[in-house]
Structure 1
Amino acid sequence: MSRTIALLTDFGLDDPYVGQMKGMLAAHAPDSLIIDVSHGVEPFCISQGAFFLAAAMEHFPPDSVFITVIDPGVGSARRIIAAEFGQRIVLAPDNGVLELAENRFSGTVIVTDLSEAAAKIHSSATFHGRDIFAPLAASIACGTSPSSLGPKLPLREIVRRGFNKPVWLEDGVKTTVLHKDRFGNLVLNIPDTQTLPERMSIPEEQLLSGNDASCVKRVCCYAELEPGATGLLAGSQGYYELALNRGAASEMLGLEPGDALTLKF
């Protein structure tokens, strides 16, 4: 039986791109179960793609193969890699999208450079997801070892962008927005294992004009917040999130995935 294949892209669902990738997978790995993690990553937003991958991996079968295509450098000299997190294998461009998964994984990560194998596959310059990632993932799902497709790559040599850890200050913390969910909650790159003060504040210069909701209260659930109040709570994905009770923190702050935010203690 072929492995489960998980798809994570920034392709959206308006174009035929996801369908074409699934068609390639069905042709090359017909026994594999194909599951969509998401195709709603903001275009080119590597930090959000990294968050989706890290949040999803542990909820999939242990031998799953992930195709993670958030690839603003498609067609360039950027590497294509396979990273083994135990039995789980992630195929991705080497652009930092593995950074959060690496940070959350407690074992040894083995990385293989698939660039030479990819170069042997006839492909368009703009759609490596269909032409390269899908057939390589199908081959691995059907039993091919990544080690047979290219040389090992030292883990220290893969690209990292620095959004895996917040920056701690004497009087606060600088964070990165990893995700804005459909409710307007902002997932920050602060692990929920970190202890934070009960009261914090957002500097006035980071608030939208006319907005004075600078006070942030640490709470356990959304319902603990008064209407219109801003809170920070440990979310379901392993990170703290900034939220309003029945409101959109993203609209209040005008923040998007990849943006920076400072919380003062």
Structure 2
Amino acid sequence: MGVLTLLTDFGYRDQYVAALKARLLHLAPTLPVLDLTHGVEPYNIAHAVHVLRAVFRDFPLGTTHLITVSDYGASDAGAVAAPAWHAAEFEGHYFVAADNGLLPLLCDGIPAQLVRLNAPAPPAPAPPATSIAAGNLQPVSLNPTRDILAPAAVRLAQGQPLSSLGPPATEAYLLTNRQLRLQDNRITGHVVHVDHYGNLITNISREAVEVVGRGRPATVHFGREVVRELRPHFAAAPPGEIVCTFNPQGCLSIAINQGHASELLGLYFDSQVDVRFTG
């Protein structure tokens, strides 16, 4: 039996996480279930993808990741319509999520191993209702996490093949990642995440800086600020000073030691950041 992780935007104040874990307990009482986080900003696909990318490779190959963020999916217009749900294999891990653009963002395109999950059969039509008092209530509505995503994730974690969950899929709702702009003397990127500490995580990788920079001195430009030194870690500057460093995932990050960089610098998701080279 494998491991199942949970990533949701359910938060910590209400009963939603407990209800999901109760459902999993009924489906597979002995299955190890670990939380990635339940603090994803509501409906924020980019936030969920950032968390997944940062941590999923730390788990053993074969781990199943259940993601329930915007779990009714999305239409081309961004509204709920004709919802669908998918399971995918990527880099030896399994992912279960709504068709809301999350999996293509994670995999930089439609995953090669992708199936559309079979939805449960609709309930039989209820008899004509006369009144609530008479007990003629409509059937309980579909809950995608409870009825589709959780059962599929459990089956994968228990070792069932991806192909047993539904037919192969070659199309999915697409969202695209911000791409770096690479020039001989400059890399232009953007903030892709603001973390709990206010640190600004960009899509500029250490590899891109090394390849484009070729050992030349680099300066980091954002807003009205210019930082002329890359530090080895977030605390490698006095409190209150700006720090530019690479985080453990190799992403250029901008922080203020013991301060909230996003608020103090006025930078947020999608703010532009440049790395410029001289010499």
1:158 to 2:169 alignment: no
Which residue matches 1:118? 119
Which residue matches 1:18? 17
Which residue matches 2:95? 90
Q: 1:13-52 maps to which residues of 2 (within 5 A)?
A: 13-52=12-51
Taking a change above 3 Å as real, the CA distance of residues 200 and 150 of structure 1, as seen in their structure-2 partners, is: same
The answer to which of 244-253 and 38-47 deviates more is: 244-253
Q: What percentage of aligned pairs have identical amino acids?
A: 31
The answer to which of 183-192 and 164-173 deviates more is: 164-173
Q: Could you tell me how far 1:182 is from its partner in structure 2?
A: 2.3
Which residue matches 2:195? 181
For residues 64-107 of structure 1, what are the alpha-carbon distances to aligned partners after superposition, in whole Å with 9 as ceiling and x for unaligned? 11101111644632421111124421001222322454249xxx
CA distance in 2, matches of 1:121, 1:37: 32
Please give the secondary structure, in 1, of the residue aligned with 2:21. helix
Among residues 133, 147, 156, which one is paired with 1:140 in the alignment? Answer: 156
Which protein is bigger by CA-based radius of gyration?
Answer: 2
Structural RMSD (CA): 2.7
Q: Could you tell me how far 1:49 is from its partner in structure 2?
A: 0.5
CA distance in 2, matches of 1:119, 1:172: 52
Residue pair 2:71, 2:97 contacting (<8 A) in 1 also: no
**Corresponding letter in the other structure for 1:91:** V
Q: Could you tell me how far 1:161 is from its partner in structure 2?
A: 2.3
CA distance in 1, matches of 2:28, 2:261: 42
**Corresponding letter in the other structure for 1:175:** G
Q: How high is the TM-score relative to the length of structure 2?
A: 0.77
Residue pair 2:108, 2:176 contacting (<8 A) in 1 also: no
For residues 174-209 of structure 1, what are the alpha-carbon distances to aligned partners after superposition, in whole Å with 9 as ceiling and x for unaligned? 4343322222111112223221652122234xxxxx
CA distance in 2, matches of 1:152, 1:238: 34
Flag structure 1 segments of 5+ consecutive residues without an equivalent. 205-213
Residue pair 2:220, 2:273 contacting (<8 A) in 1 also: no
Please give the secondary structure, in 1, of the residue aligned with 2:273. strand
Among residues 226, 245, 252, which one is paired with 1:233 in the alignment? Answer: 245
CA distance in 2, matches of 1:70, 1:171: 39
Please give the secondary structure, in 2, of the residue aligned with 1:61. coil
The answer to which of 215-224 and 81-90 deviates more is: 215-224
Q: 1:169-248 maps to which residues of 2 (within 5 A)?
A: 172-195=186-209, 198-204=218-224, 214-217=225-228, 218-248=230-260
CA distance in 2, matches of 1:86, 1:221: 29
Which residue matches 1:209? none
Among residues 241, 264, 273, which one is paired with 1:262 in the alignment? Answer: 273
CA distance in 2, matches of 1:259, 1:51: 13
Residue pair 1:102, 1:109 contacting (<8 A) in 2 also: no
The answer to which of 193-202 and 24-33 deviates more is: 193-202
Residue pair 1:166, 1:190 contacting (<8 A) in 2 also: yes
Residue pair 2:88, 2:95 contacting (<8 A) in 1 also: yes
Taking a change above 3 Å as real, the CA distance of residues 192 and 72 of structure 1, as seen in their structure-2 partners, is: farther
CA distance in 1, matches of 2:145, 2:11: 13
Taking a change above 3 Å as real, the CA distance of residues 192 and 40 of structure 1, as seen in their structure-2 partners, is: farther
Q: Could you tell me how far 1:170 is from its partner in structure 2?
A: 7.3
Residue pair 1:220, 1:233 contacting (<8 A) in 2 also: yes
CA distance in 2, matches of 1:31, 1:87: 23
Q: How high is the TM-score relative to the length of structure 1?
A: 0.81
Which residue matches 1:62? 61
CA distance in 1, matches of 2:275, 2:253: 15
Q: Could you tell me how far 1:39 is from its partner in structure 2?
A: 0.7
CA distance in 2, matches of 1:225, 1:159: 43
Q: Could you tell me how far 1:254 is from its partner in structure 2?
A: 3.5
**Corresponding letter in the other structure for 1:113:** R
Taking a change above 3 Å as real, the CA distance of residues 159 and 241 of structure 1, as seen in their structure-2 partners, is: farther
Taking a change above 3 Å as real, the CA distance of residues 176 and 15 of structure 1, as seen in their structure-2 partners, is: farther
